[in-house]
Amino acid sequence: MPAWNTKNIAHLLSRTLFGYSKQNLQAAQGYSSFADLIDLAILQDAPQPSAPNAWVNTVPAASQTTSGETGTWYREFNYWWFNLMHKQGLAMREKMVLFLHNHFANERDKVVYPQNMYAQNALFRKYALGNFKQLVKDISKDPAMLIYLDGNNSRGSVPNENYARELLELFTMGIGNYTETDVKQAAKVLSGWQVSGLKATFVPARWYTEASVTVLGKTAKFDMDTLVDHIFTQKATAEFICRKLYKEFVYYKPNEAFITEMATVFRANNFEMKPLLKFLFSSEEFYTAAYIGAKIKNPTELMVGASKLLELAAPDYINMYELSKVLQMQLFQPPDVAGWPGQREWISSTTYSYRGGFTDSLITGKRYNGVNVTGKLSAVAYAQTFQNSENAVEFVDDVLALFLQFPVTPKKKAFLLETLLGGTIVKNWSTYTPGANVSLQQFFKAVMRLPEFQLC
């Protein structure tokens, strides 16, 4: 097992949660081992949350788009999910829901109705720590997916190949592990489903009529479930999914030897996510020093995480929603079926500036466009929650230890101390002096604008 210390605990939280607060870190340190922290907190099960509003059960209708209701509902949906992320405690379920949303990427512009996207989101939440193979079976007949990848009304006589292709290429196996013939034959098997409102129904008359088809070397009268079962017998499948998990939670360059170990655990546990994640987060590999602070935060991690870090009781979810579009990670609107590529793609000369503008807004109370935000930081009150708030040097150390996974240079630390002091000397520093609030605001803004703050 990895060493039970603050650095490793913080690393685990930074990767499995959307950021964490000082209280989250202290709560995690209250466990006696990684085994307990992972079993009893990180991978804990929780009841399904209440729906964002009654519209989730409303039958989709064209009038909802023309009246603008769908746009309003998508906003509520985003705010609702941001709130779940913000209040997740030490449980990683919502992080897994986002992983699955990106893995089985669907775009709201094509699905159109938030009711269908909500049902899919609930499906991801149901299986976030559950059986991945069963999730693939269920997502294959999910109304949003059927609409997005044109499975809706696909007939066995003239099947649409879009979902079959992405099922093999992006969702289970990866390029190079199947043929064009496999795609064409699988498309026949996956035909016959038709979406009506909130539900999808199998229509036998629309299914393929052949006595059998051959997919991935096996000839049978496959149905959707047996086809997925067969896909999961392929060696490439477990490895492909484990590689995606590794790249998301560990490092963007996969260690193929460790991927093989993960795949063995995944298959041995019948594709249950919880044992696989426990193996991953308990491994020495996960805590490799070179991987700590080596992941660029995605915009959702940045925005929700910064709000948690500053202990904002009521973050401005409207602010997050508006900035998510500017930062190129609007929930329910990935760029395409492959999802958000992540890592270096998150940072550009434009998005880096807006990232700093967002964290500034939590401190100044003003968005980048000058609009007031709710949940503004009370800088003095927050600073005084730190044990060494009245000792400038130790306070800077404490803040950097909490805010950053990646260490700063002595030169940067000296600059931050100078920013905090605001012209006074170390021995005169106190959070109770008249100018302390302004100095603290400048200090926190400077820390959160560091390149190192973009890493987790």
Q: Which pLDDT does position 92 carry in this prediction?
A: 98
Q: Which pLDDT does position 142 carry in this prediction?
A: 98
Angstrom distance (rounded) from CA 190 to CA 453: 45
Q: How confident is the model at residue 159 (pLDDT cuts 50, 70, 90)?
A: very high
CA distances from 436 to 78, 187, 419 (A): 36, 65, 11
Given a contact cutoff of 8 angstroms between Cβ atoms, the answer to whether 113 and 73 are in contact is no
Q: How confident is the model at residue 1 (pLDDT cuts 50, 70, 90)?
A: confident
Rounded mean pLDDT of the chain? Answer: 97
Tell me the pTM.
0.98
What residue has token string 């399904």? 48
Asked if pLDDT for residue 179 goes beyond 90, the answer is yes
What residue has token string 């550009």? 348
Asked if pLDDT for residue 213 goes beyond 90, the answer is yes
What residue has token string 């080596």? 294
Q: Which pLDDT does position 188 carry in this prediction?
A: 98
Q: Which pLDDT does position 283 carry in this prediction?
A: 98
* pLDDT tens digit sequence for 39-87: 999 999 989 999 999 999 999 999 999 999 999 999 999 999 999 999 9
Q: Which pLDDT does position 369 carry in this prediction?
A: 81
Q: How confident is the model at residue 389 (pLDDT cuts 50, 70, 90)?
A: very high
**DSSP codes joined into one string, 126-148:** HHTTSBHHHHHHHHTT-HHHHHH
User: Which tokens hold the place of 31?
Assistant: 């466990």
Mean local confidence (pLDDT), 312-324 = 96
- Helices (H) and strands (E) counted in the chain, each on its own, are 23, 4
* pLDDT tens digit sequence for 94-107: 999 999 999 999 99
Mean local confidence (pLDDT), 289-307 = 98
Residue type, 212: S
Given a contact cutoff of 8 angstroms between Cβ atoms, the answer to whether 28 and 41 are in contact is yes
Question: In this prediction, what percent of the chain has a pLDDT beyond 70?
Answer: 100
User: Which tokens hold the place of 350?
Assistant: 């434009």
Angstrom distance (rounded) from CA 23 to CA 73: 33
Residue type, 13: L
Mean local confidence (pLDDT), 172-182 = 98
Closest CA to 436 of 396, 390, 374: 390
Q: Which pLDDT does position 205 carry in this prediction?
A: 97
Q: Which pLDDT does position 368 carry in this prediction?
A: 76
19 Rama sector, left if φ>0, alpha if ψ -120 to 50, beta otherwise: left
What is the SS3 assignment for 199?
Answer: strand
Asked if pLDDT for residue 294 goes beyond 80, the answer is yes
Question: In this prediction, what percent of the chain has a pLDDT beyond 90?
Answer: 98
Asked if pLDDT for residue 231 goes beyond 90, the answer is yes
Residue 28 C-alpha from the chain's centroid:
20
Burial of 142-177, coded b for 16+ CB within 10 Å and e otherwise, reads bbbbbbbbebbebbbeebbbbbbbbbbbbbbbbeeb
* pLDDT tens digit sequence for 390-428: 999 999 999 999 999 999 999 999 999 999 999 999 999
Angstrom distance (rounded) from CA 17 to CA 92: 6
Structural domain boundaries of the chain?
380-454
Q: Which pLDDT does position 123 carry in this prediction?
A: 98
Mean local confidence (pLDDT), 243-261 = 98
* pLDDT tens digit sequence for 3-37: 999 999 999 999 999 999 999 999 999 999 999 99
* DSSP conformation class of 202: E
